[in-house]
Structure 1
Amino acid sequence: MPSMHAPLVALSCLLASVRAEVTIYGLTGQTTLAHLGPGSSSAPLSTTTSFATTPGPPQYTGLAAYNPVYMVPPAIPSPAPANQFSIGVPSDAQLLPGLSVKQRGSFFGFSIEMSVANQLIGTSSTNLHVPFLNFMSIIAEKAGEVHVRVGGNTQDTAYMVDSLPDGKFLDKNREDASNPTGTPIIAITPDLLFMLANVSSLVNIKWYLGIPFNDTNWRFQIAEKSEAILGDNLLGLQAANEPDLYARHGHRPENWGPEDFFEEFSAMTQAYSSDSQVPVKNNLIAPSVSSSGWTPEQVWDTGFVEAYSDYLQALAVEHYPSDNCAVIYPDPNNPPKNPLELLPQYLSHKSGQQLVAPYLNSTALAQQWGKPFMMFETNTASCGGFPGISDTFTSALWGVDYALQMAYSNFTTALFHFGGQNVSYNPFTAAPTNESAIHQWTTGPIFYSSIFLAEALGKTNASQVKDMLINDGNELTPGYAIYENGQFARMALINYMTDPSGANDYTATIYVGGDGFGEPNAAPASVKVKYLRAPSTSEKDNITWAGQTLGGRFMADGRWQGEESVLTIQCDQANNACQIKVPAPGAALVFFSDAAQAAAADGPIETFSTSIITKSKNTVTIDPSVLATSNGESGKDRLHRGGTSYGAESSGMAAYVAPGIAALISVLAGTAMFIRAS
């Protein structure tokens, strides 16, 4: 490994919370007042907000990541699901048929559109974003490591250059973009890869990268440089992103199909094998079809895996349950979807079951072929998600259920996608750079799903999952048993209903072992429980995991706020029963085995902070003499940085920092910060 630039980190300042309110409409007409989040106005300062004056979906014209749209949770069905029921589980995994393959704690990972790497990860190899490091540290501590993909639509036309003006590592050309989704053509420098390597030196993150597949003049510079710079921290290289959509987007002839893809992949692998600067030849990930054009079987039927097995590290697909594309890209064949009508679908166990069903044949075939099977990109809906769904507690519960359903169905990885500030589904979002002097980052509810999954699967990389179809398979009260090293370890319980009265909280009585399984009674004396909670499935800010929160909109830096609360619940060993209450709404992770209960106690999580912040409002202060002798940049030299491939926001800016220095002053949105390597 060559020497890397010393990693340095930057962090926006703290802010105070202010609530604003507005009357909007929901499923049943006019609803209660909905808070719009922190800040002195109802939306980011550079945007406007407008709402319908008649019943129907509210209209919001600001940045989607901070939208104030609130929708009334679905009513409790009549009759309501039973709120008292029992679950029997054996203590020995061999007595429970249908368990998944062994899963890693890093199962739930992240996908970052290559064009927004500078918004989320850092602005250079020596200037890393502190909140990103902190958010990732949470998952790394619980799962052992984090898997992150940098790619997406923008990878297919990406090309590498030695340098860019003003020291940038990424530049976008929108004028040349031919994709109807507005995907820019991007140029990157090796400093992007040095940045990823420096992140990995601080947090145990391993990376997937995308390489271009837009023409037969194959460009492998990303592969060459990433192998040299990232080394063992490079997990694999995705070749082709959603090739089944190439023809639809005008990148291939109209009749271009799976056989044509097979032939192009052949040409690519021949060139790949001949490239002496790519030392590893078996780390490609494909075919990454979206299933909107071709089914995976259409690719398998070409003999794809048999032909290219020596090059394939893993098989992958990409899939979203719905799309919000018509709002951004009007299409008479794809009319706009009404989030109010879609909301109940995300509050149902059927959602995950239906999403994985088309892939069960492929996950079985992958096991025969000895290949991991990955969901390489997913989230609540493509083209940025749905306001009022993707950015609420609905998505947190849905994300837990969907991810566990994928794990149970023998996917081996699931990567949830990030865009820029103009999408609703981000696991977390940087503050708009014209407001970063007064606002912090925003935690997306689905990030809590990743924490839940990391703890549910643990660090042993030997966890197996079973959908228990509890409560007679009721779609509003799903539950999963999780075994570790062959023994019952944890149970995940979800309650999709919203009922502040408590009448639809449910109590599951869990029996471990016993005569029903030909085992001795095995209920422990007590269990530990962590709850994922919010007042409503429509809540955006007040979300807690084990009593702690990462902060609502504009209030997060990736560090926990509040005191952790891990409940100890006594079991009735005489009757072999442990009773677990699950709030409406909420999810409970119950730790049964001794090893699981020991792991439930969080160890110290390494976090990162800037050394000194000079803005006096909401910050600490610094001796001006320190600034006088620093090597910071002037705010007048700020550079624009843009957004995601879908609805990107380009009002931001970035700061370049010269490599190889030990400390610096970084000027981001008017806030000077003295930064020192952690």
Structure 2
Amino acid sequence: MRAFRSLLAYALCSVAAVHAVTVYNQLPLAAQSTSTPSASDTAAAAAPSATGNYTGLAAYDPTTWPPPAIPNPAPATQFGINVMPTADQVTGLSINTPSSFYGISIEMSVVTQVLGINASFINVPFLNLMSLLAERAGQVVIRVGGNTQDYATLVPSTQDGKMIEKQSIDPNNPTGTPTIIFTDEMLYMLSNISTFVNIKWFLGVPFNDTVNIHMEIVEQGERIIGDNLLGFQVGNEPDLYLQHQHRLPGYDFNSYYTEFGQWRDAFNNDANVPQKKTMIGPSLALANPESWTLEDTWNTGFLPNYVDSLYALSVERYPDDNCAAIYAGFGPVTYPPSVFPNYLSHASGRSICAALLNSTLVAQTYSLPFIMFETNSASCGGFAGISNVFGITLWALDYGLQMVYSNLTHALIHVGGQDVYYNPFTPPPTNQSTYHQWTIGPIFYSILAMPEILGNSNTSRVVDLFANSNNDLTPAYAIYENDQLARVALFNYMDDGSDAMALNVAIQVGGGNGQPASTPAQVKVKYLVAPSVSEKFNITWGGQTFGGEFESDGRLMGQETIQTVPCDTTAGTCTINVPAPGFALVYVSDTAVQDSEPAATATFSTTALTKTVNTATIDQSVLATSNGHSGKDRFTGSTSKGSSGASRAAGVIPSLTAVFAVLATVGIFFKAFTS
């Protein structure tokens, strides 16, 4: 029998999250020493830190590593940058980039932990975080899919009444990904979320059976989510299907081309799918050098034959992986400090993007967006003390701007759960959700800062300035809006525990070739800083923070600070200090500030009373017609304490009016079921 409990509501409470490559059938890692990595090929769900002193959940691992040593000789700490005032004077600018460049990728199997239990029980901290992004970028793009999408089936109902139910796990599948079933409740939840915050969705389709194609998620997705649904991902990392034992030997790019065509035909022949140009592919991982490339896919005739059905082209890429710590056959386990320097270098993002330049050009030829559909610091959960520290904040911001410069349209940062290190945000464990709030990871600061760097016009064009003699520790970018210089982004990856490696960058606008500079009399500067690249929580963006572990309800804390820096009008330069480590966003005009900062941010209260039962009452006549269908045929639970479902009418999805009432009301509880 199902056990029911009333959860402390926060108003629409926090729930636990799960991972990414999504690993479920996991065993604890053996303890590791501080000097040599373990060779254990086990899982990270309860992985101890590399120090050997922590045996809890990876998302709360306190492990940190010393900052890498500054190279000898060190980069120059004083240098100049000359930026042109208008785009027509610049070579190599990117195409126009949407303000919502950075988005979120969520594994389909974990939406109940990250988004909410059902269409009427939505996690308020999640709404607050997304509201921060939407106020800066206009909208947020989120993908629900991943490995679990390939074996996910939309069903009329589940045995226990839940929105998502995990089925069997194939022991031969190295990702440990479960087969899941889900109901249209999930689609209603996505639709309801978009009513609160302007979120646009990508959905993954089941790609396990291309003979008996399951179009249900496409049909119901278009019907329920409507204009807030952008497209459908057809195939997730198909270049790894052989390695994951999802296809028979011999499967290659020609096989994927054929299967994609079968899905294209299913889209075109389905009268219940009015929007046909919504398919997304090929979403290659490019992680196996023995597999195929994007160019192999294009050479099949993929684009000329399928362009009329494509919303976008896509790829999924991580700079590294920690899979050897989880799965057998992946070689020696990576010792995290050995890869820390790789993430404190401009070369990281540049090397990833270099392999994509031909494909972004192909996408432009066919007038299609090119999307990084899933990325983060390292696949298989990231690295302890690397993926969850301030160094990754700087890395992700640099990587994101490099993707913009390389003409990608969006990049979606993957969200996991308790068993990963790299989360942008993590709900508390379920058994602590009544008293703990969310934990915001360092990489979320990158996601938050990106729309402010780009501005809100959706006309931003970015250029890599190859600053400081193209030094990888001190990169810089210029951002143009409406073809006018708006902002300059300055990075300093160095950290020696002192101010000795702080930068002083002299920016000159225009000038040269006998022409006078047009440097303004003053500029504004906003800083993203932390005491060290190894810092986990003491991170501020413009003086504001999300606090420490279990401290956030999704709202920024503190007063924003933007500094005014006077310029040397005689020399025609503005000298900007960039802390070591740190990031500085330089606004060259007041208009650039106005086009970057949100006027206001809608937030949702999470204050609640405790141990209250049945405080919310909803008109059943309203419920019966909510979301366009009768509630009497739906069942998700009961509002009667201890009941296992005596009243089906109580289990229907509340109307959006009811959901709004819940968000606005302090002290309301909802009944939720836990297994």
Give the TM-score range, shorter chain: 0.7 to 0.9
Residue 612 of structure 1 and its aligned partner are, at CA, apart by 3.3
| Distance (whole Å) between structure 1 residues aligned to residue 47 and residue 292 of structure 2 | 39
- Aligned partner of 2:101: which letter? F
C-alpha distance in structure 2 between counterparts of 1:153 and 1:566, whole Å: 42
Partner of 1:11: 13
| Secondary structure, counterpart of 2:181 in structure 1 | strand
TM superposition shift of 1:422: 0.6
Gap change, CA 1:672 and 1:595, over 3 Å in 2: closer
Amino acid in the other structure paired with 2:229: L
2:278 maps to 1:276: no
Quick one: distance in 2 between partners of 1:499 and 1:50?
28
Partners of 1:209 and 1:625 lie apart in 2 by: 36
Q: Where does residue 595 of structure 1 map in the other structure?
A: 591
Alpha-carbon distance change, 12 to 282 in structure 1, aligned in 2, over 3 angstroms: closer
Match of 2:543 in 1: 547
Is the 8 Å Cα contact of residues 48 and 61 (structure 2) preserved in structure 1?
A: no
How far apart in 1 are the matches of 2:468 and 2:11? 48
Q: Which of residues 463, 468, 473 in structure 2 aligns to 1:471?
A: 468
SS of aligned partner of 2:273 = coil
| Aligned CA-pair RMSD | 2.9
Contact 1:206 1:234 in 2 (8 A): yes
CA drift of 1:602 comes to 3.8
| Equivalence map 1:322-333=2 (5 Å) | 322-331=320-329, 333=330
In the alignment, which residue of structure 2 is the partner of 1:378? 375
* Distance in 1 between residues matched to 2:643 and 2:146, nearest whole Å: 30
Give the match for residue 489 of structure 1. 486
Measure how far apart 1:674 and its partner are.
3.6
2:582 match: 586
Q: Which moved more, 1:464-473 or 1:589-598?
A: 589-598
CA contact (8 A) 2:526 2:585 kept: yes
Q: Which amino acid is 1:95 matched to?
A: Q
Residues 658 and 342 (structure 1 numbering): CA distance in 2 closer, same or farther, change over 3 Å?
same
Contact 1:323–1:382 (CA<8 Å) still a contact in 2?
yes
Change (3 A) 1:572 1:675: farther
Contact 2:14 2:437 in 1 (8 A): yes
Where 1:279 maps in the other structure, the secondary structure is coil
User: Which residue in 1 is equivalent to 2:209?
Assistant: 215
| TM-score after normalising by structure 1 | 0.85
SS, match of residue 595 in structure 2:
helix
Q: CA deviation at 1:356?
A: 0.9
Q: Report whether the alignment pairs 1:504 with 2:504.
A: no
How far apart are the structure 1 equivalents of 2:370 and 2:251? Answer: 25
Indicate how the Cα distance of structure 1 residues 462 and 174 shifts in structure 2: closer, same or farther if over 3 A, else same.
same
Matched, 1:390 2:387: yes
> In the alignment, what sits opposite 1:652?
none
Cα distance in 1 for partners of 2:46, 2:352 equals 36
- The answer for the alignment partner of 1:237 in structure 2 is 232
Figure out how many residues of one structure are paired with residues of the other and give that number: 610
Distance 2:395 2:526 in 1: 17
Cα distance between partner residues in 2 of 1:121 and 1:9: 14
- Cα distance 1:610–1:199, how it changes in 2: closer, same or farther (>3 A)? same
**SS of structure 2 residue aligned to 1:10:** coil
Which residue of structure 2 lines up, in the alignment, with residue 416 of structure 1? 413
Cα–Cα, structure 1 residues 178 and 230, in superposed 2: closer, same or farther, change >3 Å? farther
Say whether the 8 Å CA contact 2:164–2:182 is kept in structure 1.
yes
Sort the Cα spacing of 1:519 and 1:558 in 2 relative to 1 into closer, same or farther, 3 A: farther
- The C-alpha deviation readout for 1:274-326, integer Å capped at 9, x for no partner, is 11111111111000111122210111111111111111111111111111112
Q: Which residue of 1 aligns with 2:175?
A: 181
Q: Which amino acid aligns with 1:406?
A: M
Q: Which residue of 2 aligns with 1:340?
A: 337
Decide whether aligned partners of structure 1 residues 602 and 274 sit closer, same or farther in structure 2, where only a CA change above 3 A counts. Answer: closer
Moved more, 157-166 or 537-546: 157-166
Does the 8 A contact of 1:467 with 1:480 survive in 2? yes
Correspondences of 1:183-198 after superposition (within 5 Å): 183-198=177-192
State the 1:498 CA deviation: 1.3
Task: Name the % identity.
Answer: 50
Per-residue CA deviations over 1:111-135 (Å, capped at 9, x if unaligned) read: 0001111111111101110000001
Shift of 1:77: 1.8
- Could you say which residue in structure 2 is the equivalent of 1:227? 222
Decide whether the 8 Å contact of 1:664 with 1:674 is kept in 2.
no
The amino acid across from 1:500 in the alignment is G
**Distance in 2 between residues matched to 1:445 and 1:494, nearest whole Å:** 16
- C-alpha contact (below 8 Å) 1:149/1:208 kept by paired residues: yes
Amino acid at match of 2:305: A
**Using the alignment, how far apart are the partners of 1:211 and 1:220 within structure 2?**
8
Aligned 8 A contact 2:234 2:280 in 1 = yes
1:318 and 2:316 aligned = yes
Aligned-partner Cα distance in 1 for 2:338–2:365: 40
Question: How has the CA–CA distance of structure 1 residues 636 and 476 changed in structure 2, closer, same or farther, with 3 Å as cutoff?
Answer: farther
Asked if 2 retains the 8 angstrom alpha-carbon contact of 1:27 and 1:72, the reply is no
2:654 alignment partner in structure 1? 660
CA contact (8 A) 1:471 1:477 kept: yes
Opposite residue 313 of structure 2, the aligned amino acid is: L
Change (3 A) 1:666 1:418: farther
- What's the secondary structure of 1:226's corresponding residue? helix
Map of 2:257 onto structure 1:
262
Question: Are 1:568 and 2:570 an aligned pair?
Answer: no
Partner of 1:44: none
1:148 alignment counterpart? 142
User: Is 1:201 matched with 2:203?
Assistant: no
571 and 250 in structure 1: CA distance in 2 versus 1, 3 angstrom threshold: same
Counterpart selection for 1:431 from 411, 424, 428? 428
C-alpha contact (below 8 Å) 1:150/1:209 kept by paired residues: yes
Q: Would the aligned equivalents of 1:27 and 1:71 in 2 still touch at CA under 8 Å?
A: no
Between stretches 605-614 and 200-209, larger displacement belongs to 605-614
CA positional deviation for 1:474: 0.9
Query: Does the CA contact (< 8 Å) of 2:615 and 2:668 recur in 1?
Result: no
Runs of 5+ consecutive residues of structure 1 not aligned to the other structure: 1-6, 14-23, 30-46, 616-623, 640-655
2:529 is equivalent to residue 527 of structure 1: no
Query: What are the ranges of 5 or more consecutive residues in structure 2 without an aligned counterpart?
Result: 1-8, 16-31, 38-44, 620-637
Q: Are 1:131 and 2:131 matched, yes or no?
A: no
